Amino acid sequence: EVVLTQSPGTLSLSPGERATLSCRASQSVRSNYLAWYQQKPGQAPRLLIYGASSRATGIPDRFSGSGSGTDFTLIIGRLEPEDFAVYYCQQYGNTPPVTFGGGTKVEIK
């Protein structure tokens, strides 16, 4: 099973700042099949990025994903008030099972 480790656990930033979130896999993710989700309290997750770097439909271009192998990054270019949430990475290349990371909370500083 591929273990995904996200860092940092919490990121305290101000609106307008840039956020850099990391997701490290315990082994290489096949075909870079890695996704990023945003989740707000009481809501279901929302797909942001799939295939490590492809933006999902309707996702603003301030969200970008990169990386390959075992190291992946989600960057939020300039934080908007609605971007403060928890972010999860997910790998779906070495399956079953699909696995998720432990999450990074982006909070208002």
Partner 1 sequence: DVQLVESGGGLVQPGGSLRLSCAASGFTFSNYDFHWVRQTAGKPLEWVSGIGRGLDTYYADSVKGRFTISREDAKNSLYLQMNILRAEDTAVYYCAREIMVAGFFDAVDMWGQGTMVTVSS
By CB under 8 A, name the one of 22, 24, 55, 102 that touches partner 1.
Answer: 102
Q: Interaction with partner 1 in 66-85: which residues (CB under 8 A)?
A: none
How far is the C-alpha of 59 from the C-alpha of 76, rounded, in Å? 11
By CB under 8 A, name the one of 50, 63, 72, 84 that touches partner 1.
Answer: 50
How far is the C-alpha of 90 from the C-alpha of 35, rounded, in Å? 5
How far is the C-alpha of 45 from the C-alpha of 43, rounded, in Å? 6
Q: Does 46 bind partner 1 (CB under 8 A)?
A: yes
The least distance separating partner 1 from the CB of residue 9, rounded to whole angstroms, comes to 11
By CB under 8 A, name the one of 2, 19, 99, 106 that touches partner 1.
Answer: 99
Which helix (H) or strand (E) segment holds residue 83: the answer is: none
